[in-house]
Amino acid sequence: MHRNDDYYWDKVRETRPAEQRQSLIFQRLKAQLDYVYEEIPFYRQLYQAHGVEPRQIDSLDSFSRRIPVVTKAMLRQSQRDHPPFGNYLGVDFKEVVRIQGTSGTTGEPTLFAISAQDWDEISEAQAMQCWAAGLRPDDIVQIVFPLSLYVGGWGLLGATEKIGAKVLPMAGGNTERQIMLMQQVGSTVICGTPSFCLHILEKARQMGVDLAAGPLRLGFFGGEPGAGIAGVKQRLESGFGIKAIDFGNVAELHPCSNMECEQRTGMHVYQDIDYTEVVDPSDPNISLGYNRKGAVVYTHLWRKSQPMIRYFPGDETIITDEPCPCGRSYPRMPNGIIGRLDDMLIIRGVKFYPSDIEEILRSISWLGTEFRIVIEQKGALQEVTVEVELERAVAPADHQSLVEQKLQANLGLRVSVIAKQPGTFPRTAFKARRVIDRRTGNQDE
């Protein structure tokens, strides 16, 4: 419920001193550990196998050191062994009101079952986050996320309803119609993946429509790391005439797991909704604390249906507790989610994420919105070719070598660049797939 004033959704909660919050978190954590151990076979078996019981956990520190993590592979296995929801549902199936799933288009999706009470609390939590980002009751919120098994768009819909703003549920696709309705209705907020929203901007330009001159003022971007990348954020902000808010989407956890506030200083980590740790990726029982890069681990403090206790999605980040100008005492991820450890590329000893290449390309104004990263094995060497699109058919002379030099200087790796005409690559209404790995054993494209 919205309390206090116009600036905060819940001022006492959002500005609570860190130590006070830590002790509340620990109380909730104890209750949650007792619940999963008593009621959920998946967790009891896991903890018994690791020789740990909830009563042995006497601090947040011992929680990190002793409680094992849960991975996506473990959840998949549990759903295979105990179809359809695994042996970690927790609640009676009668209480379930939503069934969502992973957004992958191939293979069996992991299923999420959410109880009525949990869905209500999720919407409430996300209303608090969206309020901090500036969403208000008189906004018209155009959702261009798919409204499908993918939970991200539904989370924003729940938050919009809690706040009492107006939702325009366009869902993904049909770019021209998105632009038409946006103008006709006067949308003030857009929510979608950065790739699809960049495509909307590109289409609007072709139609001769300047969306920045319209009533749009705010955008929520998730499903991909995009809006956490400076160059992408800048393109979205200037193209739509908005403040671009980056949010994280870990479907096992919440539709929007972390979200930036209006100040856009990196996603706030709402520690009293999901307790969040940064750990050593090779040993998740070693906590790294603030200001050190590592793997993120999340714990649901409230959820009863399919609760995640120390869930390890394989994402890399840094969390800092340096104050944010907004006055909220929640820590932040100043660089957002840096990358998925599974997506990390190691070429000739250089480690980087596809988003590192995106960041460099986005800083070059005469490049278009799409690109591809092609990795090939040539003899003993692994080669990277970046295929870029030009913004217009005309580009600076030497444009390929200009991009090559910039990539090499920033990545510390020699890559070749091939420039293509505008509109060469297919556009997506959801998440872009930009890495084409042609090395042996990586025939996924």
Q: Is 319 a binder of Zn ion (CB under 5 A)?
A: no
312-316 long-range Cβ contacts below 8 angstroms, 24+ apart: 312/69, 312/70, 312/71, 312/284, 313/72, 313/250, 313/252, 313/253, 313/340, 314/71, 314/72, 314/340, 314/341, 314/342, 315/248, 315/250, 315/339, 315/340, 315/341, 316/281, 316/340, 316/341, 316/344
Chosen residue from 324, 374, 388, 415 binding Zn ion by CB under 5 A: 324
The residue whose two tokens read 């992408």 is 232
* H-helix segments, 182-312: 194-207, 230-240
* Only segment of 15-23, 303-311, 319-327, 359-367 that touches Zn ion (CB under 5 A): 319-327
Q: Is 128 a binder of Zn ion (CB under 5 A)?
A: no
CB of 265 to Zn ion, least distance (A): 6
Chosen residue from 40, 125, 308, 326 binding Zn ion by CB under 5 A: 326
CB of 322 to Zn ion, least distance (A): 11
CB of 263 to Zn ion, least distance (A): 5
CA distance 37 to 49: 12
* Only segment of 151-159, 165-173, 277-285, 321-329 that touches Zn ion (CB under 5 A): 321-329
* Only segment of 134-142, 326-334, 355-363, 436-444 that touches Zn ion (CB under 5 A): 326-334
Question: Which C-beta is closer to Zn ion: that of 15 or that of 385?
Answer: 15
Question: Which C-beta is closer to Zn ion: that of 127 or that of 374?
Answer: 127
CB of 145 to Zn ion, least distance (A): 24
Angle at 358 between CA 350 and CA 429, to 5 degrees: 135
Among 63, 15, 91, 6, residue whose Cα is nearest residue 326: 15
CB of 135 to Zn ion, least distance (A): 14
Question: Which C-beta is closer to Zn ion: that of 268 or that of 372?
Answer: 268
Question: Which C-beta is closer to Zn ion: that of 91 or that of 256?
Answer: 256
Q: Is 309 a binder of Zn ion (CB under 5 A)?
A: no
Question: Which C-beta is closer to Zn ion: that of 192 or that of 331?
Answer: 331
CB of 138 to Zn ion, least distance (A): 22
CB 280 within 8 A of CB 260: no
Number of residues interacting with Zn ion: please give it, by CB under 5 A.
Answer: 5
CB of 15 to Zn ion, least distance (A): 11
CB 86 within 8 A of CB 76: no
Cis peptide before 84 (omega within 30 of 0): yes
CB 16 within 8 A of CB 330: no
* Only segment of 21-29, 218-226, 328-336, 375-383 that touches Zn ion (CB under 5 A): 328-336
CB of 262 to Zn ion, least distance (A): 7
Who's near 195: CB < 8 A, 6+ residues apart? Answer: 224, 226, 369, 427, 428, 430, 431, 432
Q: What is the DSSP letter of 422?
A: T
Q: 97 exposed, middle or buried (CB, 10 Å; 0-12, 13-18, 19+)?
A: middle
Q: Is 133 a binder of Zn ion (CB under 5 A)?
A: no
Question: Which C-beta is closer to Zn ion: that of 300 or that of 328?
Answer: 328
Q: For Zn ion, what does the binding mask look like between residues 250 and 289, x meaning CB under 5 A?
A: -----------x-x--------------------------
- Angle subtended by helix axes 354-362 and 399-411, to nearest 10: 130
Among 98, 93, 92, 90, residue whose Cα is nearest residue 119: 98
Question: Which C-beta is closer to Zn ion: that of 321 or that of 383?
Answer: 321
CB of 260 to Zn ion, least distance (A): 7
Using CB under 5 A, list all residues that contact Zn ion: 261, 263, 324, 326, 328
